[in-house]
Amino acid sequence: MSNYNFAYLDEQTKRMIRRAILKGLAVPGYQVPFASREMPMPYGWGTGGVQVSAATLTPEDTLKVIDQGADDTTNAVSIRKFFERTAGVETTEETEQASVIQTRHRIPEAKLREDQILVYQVPIPEPLRFLEPRETETRKMHSLEEYGLMHVKLYEDISQHGAIATSYAYPVKVEDRYVMDPSPIPKFDNPKMEMAAIQLFGAGREQRIYAVPPYTKVVSLDFEDYPFEATKAEHACDLCGAEDSYLDEVIVDDAGNRMFVCSDTDYCRSRRGAGHVGRLAQEEVA
Amino acid sequence: MRADKDFRENTRARTETVKPLLQVREIEKRYGARIGCTGVNFDLYPGEVMGIVGESGSGKSTLLNCLAGHLEPDAGQVIFDTRADGPVDTVTMSEPERRMLSRTDWAFVHQHARDGLRTSVSAGGNIGERLMAVGDRHYGNIRERAIDWLGRVEISETRVDDRPTAFSGGMQQRLQIARNLVTGPRLVFMDEPTGGLDVSVQARLLDLLRGLVREMGLSALIVTHDLAVVRLLADRLMVMKDGHVVETGLTDQVLDDPQHAYTQLLVSSVLQV
Ligand SMILES: Nc1ncnc2c1ncn2[C@@H]1O[C@H](COP(=O)(O)OP(=O)(O)O)[C@@H](O)[C@H]1O
Ligand SMILES: [Mg+2]
Ligand SMILES: [Zn+2]
């Protein structure tokens, strides 16, 4: 611990990142460039999110790290350990207990509060990139609010699949101004982005930070005749019976039997702790 | 400039009531010490097609790109009669305004269709892009208009979901035209629209263009080194040499009775073909 500055990064770097975060909060959805630092983990492991968390954490904070909704994947565990070691902060798996939550691919099911910060790991921050690879041009499109291309992508989706097939990283417009990539969360989570907590997004390789302040308008793009739908599997959780949570489909045996379980492991556990029972759990009881 | 005077007399009744759509004044563009084009002046009236001819390197593309806002001229004005505010100098207007014009009232047809198409997007998406850019958010409408435009440029409706990379050169060029005209622009810039195509394909494209220009009452500026193209499409001609306009006039008059020695050379070399 004493080998490192608090949370690994030196104070000057953290100040630089905080300035980028503040600018991001002042201009919701705008991608702020920042000088991303080498972190002792490979890109793709959330180095952007880690730097944002490092600049955000204080010794009093309690940190939760999730990956696809789970606290116990390799990625989540290694980031949690990293901050236990370099910042000595408390960590938790309980959403309610956390003051800073770093996430990859999910927003927790539990409603977040004003005293919480959600930090997203972002692989590709530029929502326009897939159709317009030129950075100079995408920057201009953002500054002039020329967002027709985003709908071209949705048009292509419908013409090829009969519906908007984009189910992850579904583009949103923030506060009627910037179009933003919400990182690869399922579109089921998009409506949750209008929340009480601060949302910070860090892209390490791409050197961008952006933010959504509390209670900011976040609208998923769509067509009048193909409206946005926050879809999930049409099941209840087989363990806790929740009908309102995003589910993972899990193959349970060699015969190919499947079960649906909450992707948010903490949500599922706390529901079961409160006595809720799903289909398969009932069979076990019986 | 005799033919130009004839033109003014011919159209005097019209010009007294109709304002020019485009007024070009003293346009100059240099590349370092080299002249791209200089001292260019003309008016273009609604529904009029102007051909810009001259040999390779005479400054046609430079001029067209200055007029269309792709290049910033070193001097001069390009005054466009906007729907909202009347005549405005597009050289000094703000970039967002100019980009909005190029998505709505202006169209630009590139010689190489690939420069003007999105190759990773279906034909329907290519045509729909401008509609979506100006705020159309109804998939059914966008698709219907894309299919309608495919028909108007003689591409089968069954190709609507195919990418342009699967199209022949002539089809790509027709798709580019559809993609440009779908928002009902008032002014179309074309740089060698038939260049690089087979002769029979060229003829079909010219026919199509002529039909669309008439039907939609388009004003157009067509750059070409091919006099057959302007003979068919252009009401008026501007002949360029070394960056200067050396002769202007009604197309038939310039081609049948060229006054400037250079134009005479240009015309005769074509007649020999
Ligand atoms: N980007 C450029 N840089 C320098 N010189 C150029 C450039 N583009 C064109 N020129 C020169 O300007 C003159 C006019 O070129 P251009 O407008 O392309 O003619 P055209 O379209 O009639 O063939 C030529 O001498 C050409 O070499
Ligand atoms: Mg040229
Ligand atoms: Zn559950």
A129's CB contacts (< 8 A; 6+ apart) are A138
Q: Is residue B1 predicted with pLDDT exceeding 80? A: no
Q: For B94, name the nearest residue in chain A, comparing CA atoms only.
A: A144
Closest residue by Cα to atom 6, ligand 1, is B31
pLDDT in the model for residue A157:
95
Burial A41-63 (b: 16+ CB within 10 A, else e): eeeebbbbbbbbbbbbbeeebbb
Which among B99, B103, B121 has CB closest to A156?
B121
Q: CA of B98: how far to CAs of A13, A138, A276, in Å? A: 41, 17, 61
pLDDT in the model for residue A41:
84
Chain A residues whose CB is inside 8 A of the B129 CB are 148-149, 152
User: Using one digit for the tens of pLDDT, what is the confidence trace for B13-62?
Assistant: 555 578 999 999 999 999 999 999 999 999 999 999 999 999 999 999 99
- Please name the residue ranges forming H helices in B11-59: 12-17
A200, B201 Cβ separation under 8 angstroms = no
Nearest-5° Cα angle at B165, B159 to B171: 55
| Residue showing tokens 């109804």 | B138
Structure letter (DSSP) for residue B159: G
Give the integer Cα–Cα distance in Å for A48 and B253. 68
Which among B103, B125, B129 has CB closest to A159?
B125
Interface confidence, given as ipTM, is: 0.88
Q: Is the CB of B54 under 6 A from ligand 1?
A: yes
Count of Cβ atoms closer than 10 Å to residue A85 Cβ: 12
User: Using one digit for the tens of pLDDT, what is the confidence trace for B196-220?
Assistant: 888 889 989 999 999 999 999 999 9
Which pair of structure tokens corresponds to residue B212? 């669309």
pLDDT in the model for residue A1:
46
Closest residue by Cα to atom 4, ligand 1, is B31
B109, B116 Cβ separation under 8 angstroms = yes
CA distance B262 to chain A (A): 41
- Out of A24, A29, A49, A278, the active site residue is A29
pLDDT in the model for residue B16:
58
Ligand 3 center to A247 CA (angstroms): 8
In the predicted model, what is the mean pLDDT of residues B245-271?
A: 90
- Number of helices (H) and strands (E) in chain B: give both, helices first: 12, 10
CA distance A224 to chain B (A): 5
Ligand lying nearest the CA atom of residue B52: 1
Give the integer Cα–Cα distance in Å for A199 and B215. 54
Which among A160, A222, A225 has CB closest to B140?
A225
Inter-chain CB proximity A159 and B143 less than 8 Å:
yes
Structure letter (DSSP) for residue A186: B
Using 50, 70 and 90 to split pLDDT, how confident is the model at B272? very low
Tens digit of pLDDT at every position of chain A (286 positions): 456 799 999 999 999 999 999 999 999 999 999 999 999 888 778 999 999 999 999 999 999 999 999 999 999 999 999 999 999 999 999 999 999 999 999 999 999 999 999 999 999 999 999 888 999 999 999 999 999 999 999 999 999 999 999 999 999 999 999 999 999 999 999 999 999 999 999 999 999 999 999 999 999 999 999 999 999 999 999 999 999 999 999 998 899 899 999 999 999 999 999 999 999 877 665 5
Give the integer Cα–Cα distance in Å for A162 and A155. 10
Give the integer Cα–Cα distance in Å for A10 and A156. 46
B193, B209 Cβ separation under 8 angstroms = yes
pLDDT in the model for residue A43:
74
Q: For B134, name the nearest residue in chain A, comparing CA atoms only.
A: A148
Give the integer Cα–Cα distance in Å for B209 and B204. 9
Give the integer Cα–Cα distance in Å for A99 and A201. 16
Q: For A163, name the nearest residue in chain B, comparing CA atoms only.
A: B139
Inter-chain CB proximity A148 and B139 less than 8 Å:
no
B111, B192 Cβ separation under 8 angstroms = yes
User: Using one digit for the tens of pLDDT, what is the confidence trace for B226-241?
Assistant: 899 999 999 999 999 9
In the predicted model, what is the mean pLDDT of residues B165-189?
A: 96
Reported pTM: 0.89
CA distance A117 to chain B (A): 34
For residue A22, give the nearest of A215, A190, A180, A209 by alpha carbon.
Answer: A209
Touching check for B130 and chain A: CB below 8 Å?
A: yes
